[in-house]
């Protein structure tokens, strides 16, 4: 399967679900293939048809979670010119992904 990847310009990422602010942030941003459940592309890239995993690859102490995983992206709603902020839709939610 081939994907058209979008690379976010930054080394840290923040993913927030628009309706309630839930999500995570960290140095890890992976595209996860919906069919295989495996990472595709490189860190910092997302693609329509892939889920988004954002957070940290390391276990956190005193934290409820290490990363957040969305459903697969169905649509890119907005995209900043410099690819620092992307708003996308999944099957059941809308998210804002920011690189900094």
Q: Which residues pair with 53 in a beta bridge?
A: 30, 69
Q: Are 27 and 42 in contact (CB under 8 A)?
A: no
Cα–Cα nearest to 47, from 16, 70, 24, 21: 70
Q: pLDDT-derived band of residue 2, with 50, 70 and 90 as boundaries?
A: confident
Per-position DSSP letters for 72-98, written without gaps between them: PEEEEEEE-TTSSEEEEEESS-EEEEE
How many C-beta atoms surround the C-beta of residue 5 within 10 A?
15
The ranges assigned to domains in the chain are: 6-99
pTM: 0.90
The pLDDT of residue 60? 57
| 48-59 residue pLDDT tens | 999 999 998 776
Q: What angle do CA 71, 50, 56 make, to 5 degrees?
A: 75
């Amino acid at each position: 399967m081939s994907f058209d990847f979008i690379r976010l310009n930054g080394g840290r990422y923040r993913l927030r679900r628009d309706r309630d602010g839930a999500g995570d942030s960290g140095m890890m941003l992976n595209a996860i293939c919906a069919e295989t459940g495996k990472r595709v592309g490189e860190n910092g890239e997302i693609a329509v048809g892939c889920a988004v995993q954002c957070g940290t690859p390391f276990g956190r102490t005193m934290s409820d979670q290490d990363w957040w995983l969305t459903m697969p992206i169905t649509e890119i709603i907005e995209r900043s010119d410099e690819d620092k902020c992307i708003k996308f839709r999944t099957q059941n939610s809308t998210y804002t992904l920011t690189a900094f």
